[in-house]
Structures are given as structure tokens and as C-alpha cells.
Chain A
Amino acid sequence: MAQKKKFLYVNRKAPYGTIYALEALEVVLIGAAFEQDVSLAFLDDGVFQLMAGQDTAAASMKNFSRTFKALGDYDVRKFYVERESLAERGLTVEDLMPITYEDEAEDYAEKPSIIPVSRAEMAALIAQQDVVLSF
């Protein structure tokens, strides 16, 4: 591909109550094949998409949270999570699933994909993008 663009996927909605989170993830999966510079942003209720211990069995819905853990294999490794959004909801980074990728530059060492950022840092991240997809 001629040029690499910076793609940001903005996730502001909780999973399951609406389909946006699931179908956003489907875009991220397909988008990974295009080898662009991909970042995911989780803010507002979007942080609930990354909660540890999601169990959808009784709700009879597809638990897609595990898919986030597989994204590292598709070179999707930048999960920016807004600290203020977590705090407003009584959450900390420890409440989220551990999500890692293998860094081939460092002998496949496991590294965290989740990058906690402040609201100001999230604003700066948005300002660097070429394409911003909101769901």
C-alpha cells in the first residue's frame, strides 16, 4: 500500500446493550489486514468493553471480549484507555482484562497493549489521526 494512514477507532459505548461495540470490533479485525497505523480509543462507557470477567452465558449473547486479546496477533497493539472515564465509573486499570502482544523486536517478549492516558492525552491522540471511526 502506497501510504500508511493513522486510523483511530473511538469506542464510547458499553458492550451488549447495543451492537455498536461488537460491530466496531469486526471493523478492527478486517481493518488489520490493511496494514495501517491502528489505534483503539476507549472512553466514556467504552471502557466497559474491556472489563475482566465478562460472562454472557446467562444473557445468551456472544462474548466477544476475548477477541480483544487476539488483536495483538494482528498488529493491533495500541489500546488507549482514558483514566478519567475509568475513575468516573469507579474503575481502575486493574478491573480490565490483561491484553498483551508479543514484541518481535525484543525476542517476542509479552508487552501490555493497554495504554492508560489522561483526557488531555486522548485529545492529543485524536489530533494526530488521519481517519477517525466512531461507532
Chain B
Amino acid sequence: MQLAIVVNEGPYTHQASDTAYHFTKAALEKGHGITRVFFYHDGVNNGTRLTVPPQDDRNLQKLWSELGEKHGLDLVVCIAAAQRRGILDADEARRHGKDASNLAPGFRISGLGQLIEAGIEADRLVVFGD
């Protein structure tokens, strides 16, 4: 079965992205496909490479990037939500005259259409948020 995952909260403040991560991992282990993981609202904060959590804590951005790389996941950060919250890839940073970009490896920035498209293409869509 093909599953689409929506993550509406950033890491650490809410458990939502932890739950979404463990769910996605379990779905892959069961042989399901992941159409896309779409990060919306504060969920876009999962996609910054600049987080430095304490050594003894989990690093959610890294976990997503590694899971993405291992399984070829499409990790999409919503462009409108990302711009509000200061998550930029190199192209966006250049376009808006910012001196740095921070999108983590394995993530890409794209539009809300990617969320709707995932809903259309997947057999199931699951939302994680607050």
C-alpha cells in the first residue's frame, strides 16, 4: 500500500514529528511504500540542518535525512510555510537576498500542490500534528 505522511509540527516542542518518524519507519519495515512525507506549518522546522540538540537526545532532522536516504523518500517542505519560518534552500536564499540557506540534506522545498498530489496518489494519508 502507498502511504502519504503529513507532519504539521516541528521537532521537540511536540511529539508529532517523533510519532510521524516512527510510523514512517514501521510502514517501510512492513513493506509499504511512502508516496511522500510533507512538512507543513511548524513541521517545516524538521528540515533545518542547523539544529544542534544535546548529545544524549535524538536528532530528528538527522533521523529524517537518514531514513530518506536509505529508502529514497520524498521529503518535501512546504515553500510558503518554510519562507515564513526561515527555512531556505540555496535557490530561495539567493532569490530573497539572504546570506545563508539551511535546508537539510534529503529534503526539498516545493509547493502545497505536492500535498494535494500525495493525497490523490496515495492509498492512505495520515496527519501528525498538534
Residues of chain A whose beta carbon lies under 8 Å from any beta carbon of chain B: 1, 3, 5, 7, 19-20, 23, 26-27, 30-31, 33-34, 36, 130-135
Contact = CB atoms under 8 A, between A and B. Distances in A.
Contacts of B125: 131-133
Contact of A131 (B112, B113, B119): B119
B3 to A, nearest CB: 12
Counting chain B residues whose Cβ lies within 8 A of the other chain, the interface size class is: 10 to 19
Given A5-B120, A135-B41, A30 B129 contact: no
Contacts of B8: 20, 135
Interface string B1-35: 00000101000000000000000000000000000
Contacts of B6: 133
Contacts of B81: 23
13 contacts: A1-B120, A7-B116, A20-B41, A23-B41, A26-B112, A30-B115, A31-B112, A31-B115, A34-B120, A132-B125, A133-B125, A134-B129, A135-B41
B40 A23 contact: yes
A36 B129 contact: no
B127 interface: yes
Contacts of B116: 7, 27, 30-31, 34, 36
Interface string B86-129: 00000000000000000000000001110111011000010101
B16 to A, nearest CB: 12
Given A26-B80, A133-B119, A134-B129, 12 more contacts: A1-B120, A7-B119, A23-B40, A23-B81, A30-B115, A31-B112, A31-B115, A31-B116, A34-B113, A130-B119, A132-B125, A135-B8
B49 to A, nearest CB: 23
Contact of B113 (A1, A33, A134): A33
A134 B112 contact: no
